[in-house]
Amino acid sequence: MTLPTLIRRQPLRRTAFKRNTKPLARLELSLTEAKPKGVRVRKCSNCGTSFQQQRMGQQVCGPACAQSFARRIGEQQERKADRERKQQLKTRSEHLADAQAAFNAYIRARDAHLPCISCGRYHTGAYDAGHYRSVGAQPALRFHEDNTHRQCVPCNQHKSGNAVEYRLGLIARIGAERVAFLELEHPPAKYTIEDAQRIKAEYRAKLKQLKETA
């Protein structure tokens, strides 16, 4: 009978233990910087300074700011109500004038880098949004972008639109086919208040987008 062979174990080697104090330091720092549980810090809606909320939904840092903030909100609501009342009292003509102003502002901004459609000049004077077919002659083209271009005040107002030169400039800019469409007889347009409000909103949005991408 043979005896089992004994396995000789290697002696354990001691290694130096290095204590890593960095995680503990970070933990201590985080504990000192930690905010009390349940405390929220936000900016005062009135003065902009930071404060600790004492209750949910608190927007201001103290009584003085609360009074000032409430007064400001009340004034804003009153101005909004005044605007709504004025909008309700506006006539269709006034709504159309607002829509025309928004449309014209977009046209001038769209063509800001271009010369006058009629005389081809660049100058520092005032510009209008000049119509090729007038609003009176073709109401359906009143808000048509091909029919309206940046035009200097002398051509638009002092030369009655300078129509002959306008046509030549228009053909060069948009092509004879699109000009021919404008020269057709179009069914008369009857814009409602809702139409005017929609056009105003549309061209205000287009002008804003144009300025953002410029």
Using the CB atoms, write b or e for 71-102: b if 16+ within 10 Å.
Answer: eeeeeeeeeeeeeeeeeeeeeeeebbebbbeb
**Helix or strand (DSSP H, E) at 50:** strand 50-52
What is the rounded distance in angstroms from the CA atom of residue 191 to the CA atom of residue 142?
Answer: 10
At 192 the pLDDT is: 96
- pLDDT tens for each residue of the chain, 214 residues long: 455 555 555 555 665 555 555 555 554 544 444 455 566 888 898 898 888 888 888 888 888 898 888 888 888 888 888 888 877 789 999 999 999 999 999 999 999 999 999 999 998 889 999 999 999 999 999 999 999 999 999 999 999 999 999 999 999 999 999 999 999 999 999 999 999 999 999 999 999 999 999 7
pLDDT at 5: 52
Q: Which residues lie below 8 Å from residue 180, measured CB to CB, with a gap of 6+?
A: none
CA distance 156 to 146: 16
The pLDDT score that the predictor gives to residue 35 is 52
Instruction: Give pLDDT, residue 123.
Output: 86
H/E stretch holding 127: strand 127-131
Q: What is the pLDDT of residue 20?
A: 55
State the pTM of this model. 0.65
Alpha helix locations (H) across 90-137? 92-110
87 φ/ψ angles, rounded to the nearest 5 degrees:
-65, -40
pLDDT computed for residue 31 by the predictor: 42
How far apart (Å, rounded) are the C-alpha atoms in residues 102 and 210?
A: 13
One-letter amino acid at 91 equals T
d(CA 202, CA 11): 86
**Which tokens sit at 54?**
């004492």
Q: How far apart are CA 71 and CA 60, in angstroms?
A: 13
What pLDDT, on a 0 to 100 scale, did the predictor assign at position 19?
A: 57
- CA 199 from centroid of its chain's CA atoms: 17
